[in-house]
């Protein structure tokens, strides 16, 4: 599929099931806590453009944070599911982000677990920057290639077409990617191992990991103001 290294149409129906299991739910909580530290408070009328909006999972959270959200996704099935959620303050476009003619400018342009599947991810960030109003913010969230989950998914990628096609990142790579536009802020988070037995220790792992070795968090959040 053009614009993505994986055809997400084939998993759109059950994509959100990850968030319904205990591990996915805890990961979602800590990922959003990290992103909330980078996302500026929304003012009335604040706008956010989301690259790779998928089923609208993160779109819904961005609207809860006070933003008017426009999302784009190359997968027709994912876009239909996002639209079916009826998220107030949101609209969705089906198309390839890199080639779609996008009108307007935005206060924030976000990409959460989508750069991993855009072959020309550097061009994607360049286009993200072009959609910002002066003083606007790029914010990204990616899976860490050096984390436990990143390594596990690389191993599974031999048999799983989703992970086989994904390109994970390190904190250094995200810092370098965003540094072209200003001084980036990087947060490593979600340190708990992806097993139910480990979940009771999630809070402790988050405190220790973020203090001792944030570069090993399963989720990397980064932002830069243009």
> What local confidence, expressed as pLDDT, does residue 158 receive?
54
pLDDT tens-place string over residues 59-74? 999 999 999 999 999 9
> What local confidence, expressed as pLDDT, does residue 140 receive?
98
Confidence of residue 5 (pLDDT cuts 50, 70, 90): low
pLDDT tens-place string over residues 165-182? 788 999 999 999 999 999
Which distant-in-sequence residues (6+ apart) come within 8 Å of 198 by Cβ? Answer: 192, 205
Distance CA 106, CA 46 (A): 8
> What local confidence, expressed as pLDDT, does residue 22 receive?
96
Q: What's the mean pLDDT when you consider all of the chain?
A: 93
Distance CA 166, CA 188 (A): 19
pLDDT tens-place string over residues 78-116? 999 999 999 999 999 999 999 999 988 999 999 999 999
Burial tier of 158 (Cβ tally within 10 Å: 0-12, 13-18, 19+): exposed
What sign for the dihedral angle of Cα 132, 95, 28, 63? positive
- Region 139-154: mean pLDDT is 90
User: Does the domain spanning 8-225 belong to CATH 2.40.440.10?
Assistant: no
Could you give phi then psi for residue 184, rounded to 5 degrees?
-80, 155
> What local confidence, expressed as pLDDT, does residue 141 receive?
98
- On whether the CB atoms of residues 218 and 190 are closer than 8 A, the answer is yes
Domain range list for the chain: 8-225
């Amino acid at each position: 599929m053009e614009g993505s290294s994986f055809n997400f149409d084939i998993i759109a129906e059950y994509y959100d099931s990850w968030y319904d299991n205990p591990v996915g739910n805890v990961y979602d909580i800590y990922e959003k806590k990290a992103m909330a530290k980078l996302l500026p408070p929304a003012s009335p009328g604040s706008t956010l453009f989301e690259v790779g909006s998928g089923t609208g999972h993160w779109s819904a959270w961005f609207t809860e944070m006070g933003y008017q959200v426009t999302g784009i996704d190359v997968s027709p099935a994912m876009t239909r599911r996002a639209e079916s959620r009826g998220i107030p303050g949101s609209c969705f476009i089906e198309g390839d982000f890199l080639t779609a003619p996008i009108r307007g400018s935005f206060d924030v342009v976000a990409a959460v677990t989508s750069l991993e599947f855009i072959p020309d991810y550097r061009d994607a960030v360049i286009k993200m920057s072009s959609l910002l109003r002066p003083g606007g913010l790029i914010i990204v969230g990616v899976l860490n290639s050096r984390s436990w989950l990143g390594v596990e998914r690389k191993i599974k990628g031999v048999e799983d077409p989703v992970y086989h096609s994904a390109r994970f990142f390190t904190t250094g790579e995200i810092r370098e990617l965003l540094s072209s536009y200003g001084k980036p802020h990087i947060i490593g988070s979600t340190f708990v191992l992806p097993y139910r037995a480990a979940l009771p220790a999630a809070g402790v792992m988050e405190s220790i990991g973020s203090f001792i070795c944030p570069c090993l968090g399963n989720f990397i959040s980064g932002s830069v103001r243009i």
